[in-house]
Amino acid sequence: MAEETNSGYGLLSRYRGELMGLATLGIMLLHTYQLQLTSLPLRAIRQMGFAGVDVFLLLSGMGICLSLHRRAGEPLGQYYRRRCRRLLPAFWLVVGLYSAGLALAGRIPPSVILWNLSTLSYWWNIPGGFNWYISAIAALYLLAPFYDRLFRRCRRKEWLTLAVYLMSYGLYRLTWSAGLFHLMHFLLRVPDFAMGFLLASYLEEGRQLNGRHLALWGGAAACGVAVLCLYVRQPVAAPLCLAVTLALVPACLVLGKLLGWLPWRGLHACLRTVGGSSLEIYLLNVIITREFDLLAPWLDHDPRHITYYLIAYPINLVLGILLHRGLERLQRGVRRA
């Protein structure tokens, strides 16, 4: 199949697991809020770790589109069952236990447990809500089949994708003006998911990364740099997330090429393992990030908080991988029964 090629857009399919692993590590780096970094370049690198979310959404959109096309004619309920089986067991387990613990400690009202488990706490901006990302990806999974129908019928798929960018930015400005600042995280990332559909169509059609496409992605990267420059003076009009979404595809293509040059296959295997358990690792990492003050007396042994992350993050990775594998085995057993 065209998507299995070893160059161009095929790199995004071949190294999807590795890219997900790098994205996971980038988000974990972003969450080292308590780590005292005196170097401005190091702080900038940490800040850019949020682009890991964009990589997740891009690759998720690509994977969902390919899956929907392979299973054309499948009942819609079957698609939703597969998405729920991947997302909800880990989410309900980790977030349910964590929210229950917070409620028992008197840190959140018991009603917030239900808000969290429903994934609605983000949309209603409920105080004590767990996190925005799971709510966002659940909404995108919900809407994906309907967007896919529009996408397949559209002859000008690039223009449709551009329309998603413009619509998302317009909604971002409207909600910002209305004081709904928390929705920025979702609205500015919707184009990532839509771009994943476009890349999936390129893979299915065997599109080559020719001169015209290189010029397109080079122009997108240049626009991203321009937005980054404007961000310094106009952070609302030119948000940093917008710069990332514009430069995301060329950045992933470059990363894919670099991964192809890596001689050590062990690193590929490690990144694929992390990428495959990204959901569980992420959920646990949110807790480790939020509960720094609670965990620091046991894990923190220096004023710059380096030891906290040197101890907590390997534990985070191991527990996330074990949780993912345990839930997979449990679900396989349930399906066999």
User: CA 32, CA 5: separation in Å to the nearest integer?
Assistant: 37
pLDDT value at residue 81: 95
| Residue 29 CB partners (closer than 8 Å, separation 6+) | 45, 46, 49
pLDDT value at residue 1: 43
* Overall average pLDDT of the 284-294 stretch: 97
What is the SS3 string spanning the chain? CHHHCCCCCHHHHHCHHHHHHHHHHHHHHHCCCCCCCCCHHHHHHHHHHHHHHHHHHHHHHHHHHHHHHHCCCCCHHHHHHHHHHHHHHHHHHHHHHHHHHHHHCCCCCCHHHHHHHCCCCCCCCCCCCCCCHHHHHHHHHHHHHHHHHHHHHCCCHHHHHHHHHHHHHHHHHHHHHCCCHHHHHHHCCHHHHHHHHHHHHHHHHCCCCCHHHHHHHHHHHHHHHHHHHHHCCCCCCCCHHHHHHHHHHHHHHHHHHHHHHCCCHHHHHHHHHHHHCHHHHHHHHHHHHHCHHHHHHHHCCCCCCHHHHHHHHHHHHHHHHHHHHHHHHHHHHHHHC
User: CA 337, CA 329: separation in Å to the nearest integer?
Assistant: 12
| Residue 326 CB partners (closer than 8 Å, separation 6+) | none
Where do we find the tokens 């839930």?
Answer: 327
User: CA 90, CA 93: separation in Å to the nearest integer?
Assistant: 5
What are the tokens at 9? 């857009």
How would residue 5 be classed by pLDDT, with cut points 50, 70 and 90? low
| Residue 18 CB partners (closer than 8 Å, separation 6+) | 259, 268, 271, 272, 275
What is the pLDDT of the chain when averaged over all its residues? Answer: 94
Q: In the chain, pLDDT over 90 holds for what percent of residues?
A: 91
* Overall average pLDDT of the 15-33 stretch: 97
How would residue 6 be classed by pLDDT, with cut points 50, 70 and 90? low
Q: 206 in the Ramachandran plot: left (φ > 0), alpha (ψ -120 to 50) or beta?
A: left
For the segment 250-287, what is each residue's pLDDT rounded down to a tens digit?
Answer: 999 999 999 988 878 899 999 999 999 999 999 999 99
Helix axes 76-104, 278-290, angle to 10 degrees: 20
Cβ(217)–Cβ(202) below 8 Å:
no
pLDDT at 63 over 80: yes
Where do we find the tokens 């959404």?
Answer: 57
User: CA 153, CA 35: separation in Å to the nearest integer?
Assistant: 49
Helix axes 76-104, 306-336, angle to 10 degrees: 130
User: CA 261, CA 329: separation in Å to the nearest integer?
Assistant: 34
Where do we find the tokens 């062990």?
Answer: 266
For the segment 156-208, what is each residue's pLDDT rounded down to a tens digit?
Answer: 999 999 999 999 999 999 999 999 999 999 999 999 999 999 999 999 999 99
pTM (two decimals): 0.95
The winner for highest mean pLDDT among 208-217, 272-281, 299-308 is 272-281
Q: Find the range with the poorest average confidence among 75-79, 212-216, 333-337.
A: 333-337
pLDDT value at residue 2: 41
| CA max distance for the chain | 60
Listed by start position, the domains of the chain span 2-336
What are the tokens at 147? 């967007």
